[in-house]
Amino acid sequence: MIELTRVRKAFPPTTEPVLRDVSLQVPARCLYGLIGPGASGKSLVLKAIPGLVTPDAGSVKVDGQEVTTMPAIALSRLRERFGMLFQNNALFEHLTVFENVAFPLRRLYGATARDGEARMTEADIVERVRERLARVALSGFEDRLPAGLSGGQKKRVGVARATVARPKIVLYDEPAAGLDPVTSQKIFELLRGEQRASGCTVVMVSSDLDRLLTVTDRVGMLYRGELIFEGTTEETRASRDARVRQFVQGLTEGPL
């Protein structure tokens, strides 16, 4: 389980908080969608979960472990349980598709793995990477560079890399940003299929509500740094909160 309790965060020189006492819970094996208008703090929450951003106040726990006060070595090991897909895909432009996807495996289980850690042979790594690329319909793309890929293909490479080490928790930040509707739907269906197949916990930030709400189990909505709603996908669609209704239904008039 992921649990945030009264998390606050501001960035100097202003003292105005970006996150205002945000409390939410993500059950294990849940696909949780985090929604809200731009600049409402969604990506900041995503970064706070693995300790990439430290809150000014409040608690962040992953499976009962307090992230905000965790020593650096312990935090580094905790992050090994995460897979992450960032908005810009964060692919290494000088590496091939194969090497991009293999990167987490080489770091965690290859020749540079910590002493005492389980190791993977090169044959194991090749097999795992090929399996991941086949899963995202990119077999045969192993030797291509990111510059030669379409936007949707780059997203799929990012998904393969985020999931290749079989993480227990996966964080997706705008996984369909800049993609056409058909490609976006395929990406969301892929992410849902990956989550169901692996049983991992997923937290996903997306502005593509029409497609996001077809795959989520639970949804939280941030508004001006506050969590104003949390519930199932069905409860989200049926919410009577004017701000939630306006955002989910795309209404042009209302409090937002």
Extended strands (E) in the chain? 2-9, 19-26, 31-35, 57-62, 65-66, 82-85, 169-173, 201-205, 218-223, 226-232
**Between the CA of residue 122 and those of 119, 129, 159, what are the distances in Å?**
10, 11, 21
User: Which CATH architecture fits 1-81+169-177+199-256?
Assistant: 3-Layer(aba) Sandwich (3.40)
pTM of the model: 0.90
- The residue written with tokens 């998390």 in the block is 7
Report CA-CA distances (Å) from 38 to 23, 104, 206, 222.
Answer: 19, 31, 10, 10
Cβ(205)–Cβ(219) below 8 Å: no
The mean per-residue pLDDT over the stretch 52-58 comes to 96
Mean pLDDT over 236-248 rounds to 92
Q: Give the model's pLDDT for residue 140.
A: 96
pLDDT tens-digit profile of 16-40?
Answer: 899 999 999 999 999 999 999 988 9
Domain ranges of the chain: 1-81+169-177+199-256, 88-166
pLDDT band for position 88 (cuts 50, 70, 90): confident
98-123 residue pLDDT tens: 999 999 999 998 765 555 567 899 99
pLDDT digits (tens, 9 = 90+) for 147-157: 999 988 998 99
**Bigger pLDDT: 187 or 71?**
71
Q: Is pLDDT above 60 for 252? A: no
Alpha carbons 56 and 44: distance in angstroms, whole number: 12
- Name residue 62's beta-bridge partners: 2, 65
